């Protein structure tokens, strides 16, 4: 099996793992990791030869962009306090705790190298957290916090990692210089993200075509990441800024085709890239086995000890941080999402899985320092990092569904229904206001005016059937049944038309482009 065949196997696994995970009640990223481990144990499967410095630029931009599309700037601003406590403060605390323990138990490990290990295992993986949490029906406030933490903690951890690596490679370290690098990296990233987001927004208006606009959204995250890294900024933060800008300012309410096609396209990208990313994590078992040759007991002990530190520190930090956030939340009227019970705090704790970023940072550790000597204990650091990733991702990922069910943590469906009903009422009122505006400038027959008024009401009822009164709902139900019958018959008519047009494609002298254009018109009509 060559590298290309292995890639196709991972892509197929990414598609199949979703329905299999749904049936088994397990997160698809965990299944893909186990698939990668199984492939790594097969003798005919080659070692993965992806350059470490390409893993983050290839995988993170589309994954981050897809994750940001599911949230909004309001959520980030409302949750700035819990995000800061988790994404910034917890990363620092985890890094220093891991560094202290690693320096103590691994003989001869320099403190700077231990800090590099702490930085690369500190951030929970944003893709794993959102992918796993999204499938378990967790309360939206928990998902929002996990998304915010996962999206911002990589920024902090990657900058700290580069500072620690530079200290090992150069042999010098300046706290003031490290702090300045952190600030400059964030400033450059935000500037790049805003500029590219604004430029992409303007370019989308010029392109007009849905296909070209969606293609641009695939290129922009990569451009934002690479440009920020070239200017010594944070590529992750640049992608976040660009994605947030586009999601806030590049939305045309009437651009239905671009929105529907864009959602479908990014769902596909998210599924495939996530599958490949976690499959690669499992395939790295080759390197871990080779590194630990002859020293299994000792190195497994180190890896389990550091994994225990990572998991324990998260719990010990979350308990007071959640209490503090609740106290501040009670004193002031902040519209923020916080865990509302100890059960939700436990679920947040157990959701701290490591993944793609940690693997990429571990593999990107230089082989040698500036003076030509080998990077101290590089093999040990890589093995420990891989052990932490496997313990947190597989163990926590496999047991999280059971824990959520056991604790009874689930989404507040009643609150969601109330919000959906409120939106339905707003939508129906907006439609009625527009109808009155039309009637003020156009003379509509009474029959047409009454019909349009019913249509305005039906817009809301279709969103939330509970918004209408009982009598009007019964009348609406009758109209819906009649409309469904009309649509069924119309659907069969359109189906016959599509079959006839498609059959003409293979006839002599038929122009395929004309056939496809007509077929697209029928497809759009069917969609409407």
Per-residue pLDDT tens over the stretch 372-403:
888 888 888 888 988 898 888 888 888 888 88
Residues 6 or more apart whose Cβ sits within 8 Å of residue 462: none
SS3 for 12?
Answer: helix
Ramachandran sector of residue 32 (left: φ over 0; alpha: ψ -120 to 50; beta: rest): alpha
**Each residue of 454-475: b (16+ CB within 10 Å) or e?**
eebbbbbbebbeebbeeeeeee
For residue 180, give both structure tokens: 């300045």
For residue 162, give both structure tokens: 């580069």
pLDDT value of position 129: 64
For residue 396, give both structure tokens: 């926590």
Mean pLDDT score, 74-84: 71
Residues 6 or more apart whose Cβ sits within 8 Å of residue 329: 336, 338
Residues 6 or more apart whose Cβ sits within 8 Å of residue 453: 432, 435
Distance CA(343)–CA(21), nearest Å, equals 24
Distance CA(113)–CA(369), nearest Å, equals 12
pLDDT value of position 93: 92
Environment class of 482 (CB within 10 Å of its CB; exposed 0-12, middle 13-18, buried 19+)? exposed
Per-residue pLDDT tens over the stretch 175-213:
777 778 778 888 999 999 999 999 988 888 888 777 888
Is the pLDDT higher at 349 or at 67? Answer: 349
Return the C-alpha torsion angle 144, 145, 149, 152, nearest 10: 50
Lowest mean pLDDT among 72-81, 118-127, 432-441: 72-81
Mean pLDDT of the chain: 79
Confidence of residue 105 (pLDDT cuts 50, 70, 90): very high
Distance CA(214)–CA(332), nearest Å, equals 41
Distance CA(102)–CA(309), nearest Å, equals 10
Q: 470, 434, 130: which is closest to 271 by C-alpha? A: 130
Distance CA(12)–CA(31), nearest Å, equals 13
DSSP code of residue 368: B
- Nearest 5°: phi and psi at 85? -65, -35
Q: Give the DSSP letter string of 318-367.
A: HHHHHHHHHHHHHHS--------SHHHHHHHHHT----HHHHHHHHTS-S
Distance CA(147)–CA(235), nearest Å, equals 18
Is the pLDDT higher at 129 or at 111? Answer: 111
Per-residue pLDDT tens over the stretch 305-355:
999 999 999 999 888 877 777 776 655 545 555 666 778 888 888 888 887
Question: What are 374's strand-pairing partners?
Answer: 368
Distance CA(95)–CA(130), nearest Å, equals 22
> What's the predicted TM-score (pTM) here?
0.74
Mean pLDDT score, 405-433: 75
For 403, what's the count of Cα atoms within 13 Å in the CB-facing half-sphere?
Answer: 17
Confidence of residue 472 (pLDDT cuts 50, 70, 90): low
Distance CA(425)–CA(436), nearest Å, equals 17
Torsion sign (Cα): 279, 281, 287, 291: negative
Residue 61, pLDDT above cutoff 80 = yes
Distance CA(57)–CA(173), nearest Å, equals 27
Is the pLDDT higher at 41 or at 127? Answer: 41
Is the pLDDT higher at 242 or at 488? Answer: 242
For residue 488, give both structure tokens: 């069924």
pLDDT value of position 469: 54
pLDDT value of position 250: 60
Question: What are 368's strand-pairing partners?
Answer: 374
pLDDT value of position 191: 94
Question: What are 83's strand-pairing partners?
Answer: none
Q: Say how many residues make up the chain.
A: 528
Residue 473, pLDDT above cutoff 50 = yes
Confidence of residue 471 (pLDDT cuts 50, 70, 90): very low
pLDDT value of position 188: 92
Place of tokens 């893709």: 127
Confidence of residue 463 (pLDDT cuts 50, 70, 90): low
Q: How many CB atoms lie within 10 A of CB 73?
A: 13
pLDDT value of position 133: 60
How many helices (H) does the chain have, and how many strands (E)? 23, 0
Distance CA(189)–CA(228), nearest Å, equals 6
DSSP code of residue 249: H
DSSP code of residue 87: I
Is the pLDDT higher at 69 or at 116? Answer: 116
Residue 37, pLDDT above cutoff 60 = yes
Percent of the chain clearing pLDDT 90 (strictly above): 12
Mean pLDDT score, 85-111: 88
Residues 6 or more apart whose Cβ sits within 8 Å of residue 187: 233
Distance CA(277)–CA(355), nearest Å, equals 9
For residue 287, give both structure tokens: 């390197």
Per-residue pLDDT tens over the stretch 485-502:
777 787 788 788 888 887
pLDDT value of position 404: 82
Is the pLDDT higher at 9 or at 25? Answer: 9
How is the chain split among helix, strand and coil, in percent rounded to 5? 80, 0, 20
Residue 259, pLDDT above cutoff 80 = no
Distance CA(196)–CA(230), nearest Å, equals 14
Distance CA(483)–CA(466), nearest Å, equals 19
Residues 116, 159 contacting (CB under 8 angstroms):
no
């Amino acid at each position: 099996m060559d590298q290309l065949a292995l890639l196709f196997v991972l892509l197929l696994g990414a598609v199949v793992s979703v329905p299999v995970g749904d049936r088994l009640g397990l997160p698809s990223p965990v299944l893909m990791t186990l698939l990668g481990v199984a492939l790594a144990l097969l003798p005919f499967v080659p070692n993965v030869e992806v350059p470490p410095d390409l893993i983050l630029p290839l995988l993170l931009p589309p994954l981050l962009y897809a994750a940001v599309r599911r949230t909004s700037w309001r959520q980030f601003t409302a949750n700035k306090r819990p995000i800061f406590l988790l994404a910034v403060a917890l990363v620092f605390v985890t890094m220093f705790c891991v560094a202290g323990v690693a320096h103590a138990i691994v003989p001869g490990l320099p403190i700077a190298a231990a800090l590099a290990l702490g930085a690369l295992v500190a951030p929970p993986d944003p893709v794993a957290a959102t992918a796993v949490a999204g499938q378990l029906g967790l309360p939206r406030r928990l998902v929002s916090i996990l998304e915010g933490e996962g999206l911002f903690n990589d920024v902090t951890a990657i900058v700290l990692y580069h500072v620690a690596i530079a200290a090992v490679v150069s042999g010098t370290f300046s706290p003031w210089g490290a702090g300045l690098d952190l600030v400059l990296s964030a400033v450059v990233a935000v500037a790049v993200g805003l500029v590219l987001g604004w430029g992409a927004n303007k370019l989308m208006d010029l392109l007009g075509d849905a296909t070209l606009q969606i293609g641009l959204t695939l290129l922009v995250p990569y451009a934002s990441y690479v440009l920020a890294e070239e200017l010594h900024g944070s590529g992750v933060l640049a992608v976040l800024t660009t994605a947030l800008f586009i999601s806030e300012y590049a939305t045309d309410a009437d651009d239905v085709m671009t929105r529907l096609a864009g959602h479908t396209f990014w769902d596909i990208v998210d599924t495939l890239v996530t599958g490949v990313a976690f499959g690669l994590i499992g395939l790295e078992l080759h390197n871990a086995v080779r590194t630990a040759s002859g020293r299994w007991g000792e190195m497994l002990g180190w890896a389990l000890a550091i994994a225990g530190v990572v998991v324990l520190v998260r719990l010990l930090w979350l308990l007071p941080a959640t209490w503090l956030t609740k106290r501040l939340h009670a004193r002031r009227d902040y519209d923020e999402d916080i865990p509302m019970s100890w059960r939700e705090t436990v679920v947040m704790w157990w959701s701290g899985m490591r993944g793609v970023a940690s693997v990429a940072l571990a593999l990107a550790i230089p082989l040698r320092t500036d003076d030509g000597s080998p990077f101290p204990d590089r093999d040990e650091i890589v093995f420990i990092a891989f052990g932490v990733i496997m313990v947190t991702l597989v163990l926590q990922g496999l047991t999280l569904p059971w824990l959520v069910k056991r604790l009874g943590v689930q989404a507040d469906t009643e609150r969601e229904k109330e919000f959906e009903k409120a939106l339905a009422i707003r939508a129906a009122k907006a439609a009625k206001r527009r109808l009155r505006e039309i009637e003020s400038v156009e003379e509509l027959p009474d029959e047409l005016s009454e019909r349009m008024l019913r249509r305005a009401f039906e817009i809301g009822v279709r969103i939330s059937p509970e918004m209408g009164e009982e009598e009007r709902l019964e009348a609406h139900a009758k109209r819906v049944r009649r409309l469904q019958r009309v649509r069924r018959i119309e659907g069969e008519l359109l189906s016959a038309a599509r079959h006839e047009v498609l059959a003409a494609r293979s006839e002599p002298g038929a122009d395929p482009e004309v056939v496809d254009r007509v077929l697209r018109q029928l497809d759009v009509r069917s969609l409407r």
